Amino acid sequence: MPSRSPLVAAVALLGWLALALQLWLSVQLTIANGQGAPAGVWIYVGYFTILTNVLVAMALTAAAYGPHGAVSRFFVRADVHTAIAMSIVIVAAIYNLMLRQLWQPHGWQIVTDNTLHVLMPVLFLLHWWLAVPKATLRWPQVIYWQLYPAAYFVYVLARGAVDHWYPYPFLDVTKLGYLRVLVDACAVLLAFIAVALLLVALGRWQVRRAGKGTPLAVLP
C-alpha cells in the first residue's frame, strides 16, 4: 500500500533497522559470552529504550501508511503519539545526561546508540510537532500516560526478582535496595509528568496559534 508520507515512512524504516541491528548486537554479545542467543533477546527486551523505540517505529509506520486496522488506528491517535513523544524525550534525556558517560560503545554499537538515543527522539519530536493534530489533547490524559512507565517499573522489578539483572543503575535493587529504587523511580516519574505537561501545553498553544486542530505542515 502506498505511503502517505515517504519521509515519515523512511524515518520509520530507520527506526526498525536500528532496532534490528541492536537486537543482532545483543545476541552476538551474549553468544560471545557463552550465554546463548535467548539471553541476548531477554536482555534486549529489558530496556526502556528498546520498548519505547518500538512504539516510536510503530507510531511512525501507522502515520506513514494510514489507519487500516485496530492497531494502526490506535497508534495514529494524537494522545498516543504524545504519550510516545513524552517517553522518547525521557529516553534521550536520561541517557544523554546520566548514562552516556558510563560506557564506551564501539563499531556498529555507536550507530545504534546514537540512532536510538538521539536521532530517533529528535525525528519523532519533529514529526509530532509538524504532522500530528493536537486539538484533542487534554490535561487529564497526562495521568493515563504514566501507566506505561509505571508498568515498565513493575516489569523491571519482576524480572530482577527472577534473574537479579537490572537494565539501569538507578533501578538496581541489588545495589541500592527497594526503598532507594522507589525514590529514584518517583523522581523519574515526576520527570515524565513534567515532560507530558509541557507537550500538552505546546500542543494546545499550537492549536490556538493555527486556529484549528489541523497539522501546521504536511511532510512531503
Would you kindly state where each structural domain of the chain is located, as residue ranges? 6-210
Look at the block and give the residue holding cell 486539538.
Answer: 135
pLDDT at position 171: 97
| Cell digits of residue 82 | 504524545
Query: For the chain, percent helix, then strand, then coil, each to nearest 5?
Result: 80, 0, 20
pLDDT band at 185 (very low <50, low <70, confident <90, very high): very high
Q: Give the Cα separation of 203 and 197 in Å (integer).
A: 10
| Averaged pLDDT, 174-178 | 97
pLDDT at position 5: 84
pLDDT at position 218: 36
| Cell digits of residue 201 | 501545553
Greatest extent of the chain over all pairs of C-alpha atoms, in Å = 60
